Amino acid sequence: MKINEKNLSMFATTPPSDLEGYLNKRGEVNKSWQRRWFVLKGNLLFYFEKKGDKEPIGVIVLEGCTIELAEDGENYCFQIVFHGTNNRTYYLCAENQEVMEKWMKALTCAGYEYMKLMVAELQRQLGELDEKNAESETQSSSITPKPPPRRQNPFNRVAPAPPVPSSKEQSRPCQKSPAEPSSSSEATSGSQQNIQQPETDGFFKSIHEELGKSFVKEKNRRKTEEVTTKKEASLIDL
């Protein structure tokens, strides 16, 4: 549609904009393609005769429409289709595939209905997050809290290891302590033990011999007594 309103023209030329660039537009009466400068702001698509113009030559309100690929026309063309009776279809054409996809995506997201659906989806996701947070809070409240880890006293440190003697200290000869016996005293004590051991052995040996002699004498005495008693008994019988 054609517009000349001053306020709308000021809004169209005031930055920032959602998307802007050149597109080829096919006329409604004259079916020829014309190069126009398009500016998208919210759900309003302004088009100018050239970049830098102060007033747009038309505006398209992006409500109640769909953005579709154009079957007829040149390459990289798409169309803005308004549904219902006596509604117009706008045919636009981009320079390449990337520019066409960028414009189709921006125009699809510009309508109020799309924004309404997005808000509803965001509210649903927010509700799910709230439910998950509530469940996690109930689970955390049921679990008994663990005490914090015990901190160690920094002053209770392990005693350092004794210093390792140097090579010079290890090479020094060790001095004997006065309590240690000398080698000569050890030798004399060993010889005394060797001398005392045979003396004790001879003592026990002599005792053993005396006991053996007394035992033999006692045995012989008993034998003689038995012989005499037998002789006396035989004499009595006679």
For residue 23, which of 109, 110, 99, 111 has the smallest C-alpha distance? 99
| pLDDT confidence of residue 40 | 95
91 inside domain: yes
**Domain residue limits at 76:** 5-111
134 inside domain: no
Identify any residues that bridge with 93 across adjacent strands, giving them in sequence order.
Answer: 24, 77
Whether the CB-CB separation of 25 and 34 falls below 8 Å is answered with: yes
Identify any residues that bridge with 59 across adjacent strands, giving them in sequence order.
Answer: 46
83 inside domain: yes
78 inside domain: yes
| pLDDT confidence of residue 236 | 66
213 inside domain: no
195 inside domain: no
CB atoms within 10 A of CB 73: 17
Q: Is 167 left (phi over 0), alpha (psi -120 to 50) or beta?
A: alpha
172 inside domain: no
Query: Which residues does the chain have with pLDDT short of 50?
Result: 1, 177, 179, 181-182, 187, 191, 195
210 inside domain: no
| pLDDT confidence of residue 25 | 93
Residue 25, domain CATH: 2.30.29.30
User: What is the tally of structural domains in the chain?
Assistant: 1
- Report DSSP letters for 74-125, one per residue: STTEEEEEE-STT--EEEEE-SSHHHHHHHHHHHHTSSHHHHHHHHHHHHHH
